[in-house]
Amino acid sequence: MIERDPFVTDIDWIAADWGTTNLRLWAMSGRRPVQRRALERGMGSLPPDQFAPALAEATEGWPAVPVIASGMVGARQGWVEAPYLSVPCPATPHLIEVPGDPGGRPVRIVCGLRQDNPADVMRGEETQIVGLLALSPDFDGIACLPGTHTKWARVSAGEICNFKSFMTGELFSLISHQSVLRHSLGGGYADATAFGAALSDAMARPERGYGALFQIRAETLLNDLDPAVARGRLSGTLIGWELAAARPWWLGCEVTIIGAPDLSALYAQALAAQGVPAALMSVEDATLAGLAAAHQQFLTTT
């Protein structure tokens, strides 16, 4: 969706969250977004020579001001590869230049992070962590960023120390759309009681979860299982497995969850059941604060 507003004139830079599937843009006046746009023009659907035209289409009518982008646009298969920085490292944005000032405006891409042992990478989430520290400068704890590949990152003294990724969101998507369980889940909400029970079982006896997954299908056939209950059981099982594996990342730690509201609420419920209260921060707030910090970095180096 592209919003047009001919009266928007006080734009001095453009923030871009350019992922695999979607491109989200904010016309910015300082740290304040004055207009938003979103298109299904993600990295996964664009060959390298189409990024500039896609950006030109998405920013039509906006002035030729700098663009600061984060996300998969900087992947090896993206527009220009933004190299990974090794952790531990300061939570400070590092930018690479897209050659040629496409569309008559400078474009910079935020670099991702790498961890060599154990091997791990992130691209996009580092900007949200920078935003977390911009909004909460004294934060010292764990940032949980649920999504397709959930990240747990340890943040201390203004540094990103290390992190761990889990494919929970991708597994949920694969199972719910491509497995036999797709006939049981529907597309609605996850029942909270079923979620909590499945979470507890998955953490206490992880090996029992494999059989419990097919039981969802069997109970649908035999007992007309409510799709919301089925969805709650699948979510609870997968997130329970994740929390069991991620225990060193949240046990006894201050945790802030940065993610979509519904998914963040599930993680907050899961952590609360373990006696760990978690703060919530919106993805947009963290992303814009991180990109604003990157824009300041751009201003100081140009």
How many helical (H) and strand (E) elements, i.e. helices and strands, does the chain have? 10, 15
The pairing of strands 23-29 and 32-39 is antiparallel
Angle at CA of residue 197, ends 196 and 201, nearest 5°? 115
Where do the domains of the chain lie?
13-136+284-300, 166-282
pLDDT of amino acid 5: 52
> Model pTM?
0.93
CATH superfamily of this structure's domain 166-282: 2-keto-3-deoxy-galactonokinase, C-terminal domain (3.30.420.310)
pLDDT band at 2 (very low <50, low <70, confident <90, very high): very low
Identical topology for domains 13-136+284-300 and 166-282: yes
Judged against a pLDDT cut of 90, whether residue 6 lies above it is answered with: no
The 10s digit of each residue's pLDDT in 122-165 is 999 999 999 999 999 999 999 999 999 999 999 999 999 999 99
Sheet holding 95-97, edge to edge: 32-39, 23-29, 13-18, 67-70, 107-110, 95-97
The 10s digit of each residue's pLDDT in 272-293 is 999 999 999 999 999 999 999 9
CATH of domain 13-136+284-300: 3.30.420.300
